[in-house]
Amino acid sequence: MALDAPIQEPGVHCLHNKKPKRRTPTLLGTVLTGAFLVGGAAFGQEAVTPEPALEVNAARAELGKRLFYDFRLSGDTSLSCGSCHQPDKAFTDGLALSAAYTGAAHFRNTPTLANVGFRDAWMHDGRLGTNLNDTAREMITETYLMNMDMRIMQERLKQDRKYIEMFQAAGMSEPSNGGARNALMDFMKTIQSRNAPYDTGQMSAAAQRGQTIFEGKGRCTACHIGARFTDDKPHNIGVPDNPDIWSDPERHSAFVTYAKFFGVPNYMNLREDLGAYIRTHRDETRRSFLTPTLRELKWTAPYMHNGMFQTLEEVVDFYDAGGGDDPLKDARIQPLGLVSSEKSDLVAFLEALSGDSFDIDAYVWREDDYDYALIEDWRNVSN
Ligand code: HEC
Ligand code: HEC
């Protein structure tokens, strides 16, 4: 059943719409195609996406949802995507620096997956820019993440009858690793913000004053623009380095693995995260990181690529002081001279960009059906 595309125009939801018009209540940012509707909030309530809708195959997204919470996607079955991207935290994990594969620890903060299908580039350094299938591949195969050999993954999936059925329902003849990545991609496209006070026209007076500061005196819209509040580009704002990356051998070794892979000179002696530099190798991009979305901040602390700030108050104080100390800092980051009421208004505005929890059936595989009966006499059974 093919459904009509949203009626929205790109850019309808601009920052100056203090009280955006209520839009058609269904399928705003997602065009679903395929055998059946997944059902649930992403499809039944207001999603906020000004960009052209994302095309999603419903049966593939449903398969992706099951895969997302399946621990068999990591080499030693210790992690699922949902271990780090937790639905009750807008698909983050509450840690400054993420966990990682057994024996490793990560050197980055887990980003939210809210509206992730609309990004132009992914990862804090923007090193992936093609599509979400690539991000799934990176997460699954990277040694310090899920450390999974995709040929083994494919064989694991083939042992599970439910997957065999779900791949068929999604138009694929049998479980394959390419199909699994496409399914994860479609599931991630369904993860869209809903019902933030900013969108429903229910912002408090403080939040409305905060919006004026955000767009005016705060100069925040230089980088945080559009309905997702990001230009998807890297900037250096001088966030201080997180010393845990260098003092914890498990984190440091993960970082070295990454820096070596990207051909960063002198990577063994490096004691800073170079951000976008790893892919551009241009000096002026050192320590620049992609502008994150400002949606769902209520759920996603701590903040920044390395989790250096615990609260939005700390973030606002950081900007008020003119950002961090870095010779390559973006010239638009200047001291703001905000008084304390202006700071709390700005925080109120940032909070008003958070919507409903993602911990609902539409985004969580609730059935505990990952176990399956062993096949007796398996040598004589065909698959
Ligand atoms: C061990 C924790 C962990 C697991 C497991 C994990 N992720 Fe991630 N994910 C991260 C971290 C950390 C980053 C940021 C990495 C970076 O910037 O280098 C990230 C980044 C991403 C991004 C890019 C988001 C953006 O806005 O740039 C996507 C998409 C993503 N993960 C999807 C997945 C999927 C799908 C899975 C399962 C196949 C998965 N992740 C498993 C920790 C994890
Ligand atoms: C020059 C571009 C630029 C400007 C101007 C700017 N930001 Fe940012 N913002 C960024 C970048 C880049 C990051 C991520 C930095 C990092 O991860 O190290 C960021 C991160 C943030 C975060 C953390 C989000 C998260 O999920 O970790 C918040 C909150 C934020 N900015 C709010 C603001 C506010 C409020 C203003 C105005 C006072 C502002 N920004 C001005 C580029 C900018």
Residue type at 229 in one-letter notation:
F
Indicate whether 89 pLDDT > 70: yes
Find the 284 Cα to ligand 2 centroid distance in Å: 19
Of the chain, the percentage scoring pLDDT greater than 90 comes to 81
Residue extents of the structural domains in the chain: 205-351
Of the chain, the percentage scoring pLDDT greater than 70 comes to 86
DSSP lists the bridge partners of residue 54 as 30
Residue 374 DSSP label = P
Backbone angles phi and psi of 91, in degrees to 5: 65, 35
Find the 54 Cα to ligand 1 centroid distance in Å: 20
**What are the pLDDT digits (tens) for 202-223?**
999 999 999 999 999 999 999 9
Write down the pTM of the prediction: 0.90
Residue type at 200 in one-letter notation:
T
**What mean pLDDT comes out for the span 272-301?**
97
In testing the pocket of ligand 2, which one of 220, 241, 296, 314 has its CB within 8 Å of the most ligand atoms?
220
Residue with tokens 């615990």: 310
Find the 110 Cα to ligand 1 centroid distance in Å: 6
CATH class of the domain whose range is 205-351: mainly alpha
Residue 37 contacts residue 66 (beta carbons within 8 Å): no
Q: Which residue has the higher pLDDT, 29 or 345?
A: 345
Four-point Cα dihedral 104, 108, 109, 112, nearest 10: -100
Residue 353 contacts residue 267 (beta carbons within 8 Å): no
3-class state of residue 33 by DSSP: strand
**What mean pLDDT comes out for the span 74-100?**
97
Our CA angle for 89, 71, 45, nearest 5°, is 40
Mean pLDDT of the chain: 88
The phi-psi region of residue 377 (left if phi > 0; otherwise alpha if psi is between -120 and 50; otherwise beta) is: left
Residue 44 contacts residue 26 (beta carbons within 8 Å): yes
Cis status of the peptide bond prior to 302, with omega within 30 of 0: yes
DSSP letters for 137-162: HHHHH-TTTT---HHHHHHHHHT-HH
Indicate whether 185 pLDDT > 90: yes
Closest CA to 285 of 328, 332, 255: 328
Find the 139 Cα to ligand 1 centroid distance in Å: 6
Our CA angle for 168, 169, 171, nearest 5°, is 65
pLDDT band at residue 355, thresholds of 50, 70 and 90? Answer: very high
Is the CB–ligand 2 distance for residue 170 below 6 Å? no
DSSP lists the bridge partners of residue 234 as 290
Closest listed ligand to the CA of 224: 2
Closest listed ligand to the CA of 139: 1
The crossing angle, in degrees rounded to 10, of helices 312-320 and 340-351 is 130
Backbone angles phi and psi of 133, in degrees to 5: -60, -40
Q: Which of 29-43, 108-122, 275-289, 334-348 has the lowest mean pLDDT?
A: 29-43
